[in-house]
A = this chain, B = another copy of it.
Amino acid sequence: MVHGLAAHLAPEELTVIVNTGDDFEHLGLAICPDLDTVCYTLAGLANFETGWGRANETWNVIANVEKLGGAGWFRLGDQDIATHLERTRRLKAGQTLSQITRDFCQAWGIGPTVLPMSDSPVRTIVQTDAGELAFQEYFVHQRCEPRVKSFRFDGVASAEPAVGVVEALHQADALVICPSNPWVSIDPILNVVKTLPAKPIVAISPIIGGQAVKGPAAKMYAELGIEPSALAVAKHYQNFLAGYVLDSVDAELEKSVNQLGLKTLTTNTLMNHLTDRARLAADVLHFVRSL
């Protein structure tokens, strides 16, 4: 979605605020999966097939770490490890995550501003029938198999938004909530930001026909006792939303979303190819401007 927006907006018109609740330390490296996926995508370095990591990647470090008895369940490519290694070094030298991200974006030739939601660590904990799990332990190591009961964002009470986040929110003409997991990708940001400005806010449903396009969003809704649907996501955000974008296959839900007080755009929201990203972004921008 961000990639599509970047295709239509000048670099200074787009600021991306990224979840860091999925961040963790692994093999001694500070890993920020969401930040890196956004940056690799905007830089044209992303692996489009996997949806994570870098294209044309090699795996010589992790293969050899495994030979020495180290953990191999979190697949880190060699080019990707360079990002974590240099970030870890800079964090230890006292730089903030937002400074580091700014420098990396410059090195990668990324135009839009990419901001971590906070420079303080916030860690998403998934409370499950298999106990409390750090997010990557739940998501990658245990493949989202444990049944979810609730979520906790450790550190969120004391975490300030990163430098630039509050300013960006107040200078923006509108806010777009990308079609990501409401529970673990968007809620951490909302919990850090705490108050949203009085601007048009639009969300795009990550659920199409009752299924998450990828990831465990639909499974989480079901396990929490809510029928997974584009409507459920609209209700999740309804307190602050002006508009809502849902997929054409969910057209029959449009009226129910309107009854929540939200304007709607019904369009094809599935992004299989790069051109889909740009087309959906154009539709969303048009919708936002109409509000």
Residues of A within 8 A of B (CB): 27-29, 58, 60-65, 67-70, 78-79, 81-83, 85-86, 88-89, 92, 103-104, 107-108
Residue of A27, A68, A69 with most partner-chain B CB within 10 A: A68
Give min CB distance, A103 to chain B, whole Å.
6
Give min CB distance, A165 to chain B, whole Å.
23
**Residues B69 and A107 in contact, CB atoms below 8 Å apart:** yes
Residue of A69, A85, A89, A108 with most partner-chain B CB within 10 A: A85
Say whether, besides A68-B104, A68-B107, A107-B68, A61 and B79 are in contact (CB < 8 Å).
Answer: yes
Could you give 7 example pairs across A and B, Cβ below 8 Å?
Answer: A58-B58, A61-B81, A63-B82, A67-B107, A68-B103, A69-B103, A78-B78
Residues of B near A27 (CB, < 8 A) are: 85-86, 89
User: Which listed residue (B68, B89, B108) contacts A28, Cβ 8 A?
Assistant: B89
Give min CB distance, A38 to chain B, whole Å.
16
Other contacts beyond A61-B81, A67-B82: 14, CB < 8 A: A27-B85, A28-B89, A60-B60, A60-B82, A61-B61, A61-B79, A61-B82, A64-B82, A68-B82, A68-B104, A69-B86, A69-B103, A70-B89, A78-B78
Cβ-closest chain B residue relative to A82? B64
Cβ-closest chain B residue relative to A67? B107
Give min CB distance, A174 to chain B, whole Å.
32
Cβ-closest chain B residue relative to A56? B60
Cα(A18)–Cα(B145), bound, Å:
47
User: Which listed residue (B61, B79, B83) contacts A85, Cβ 8 A?
Assistant: B61
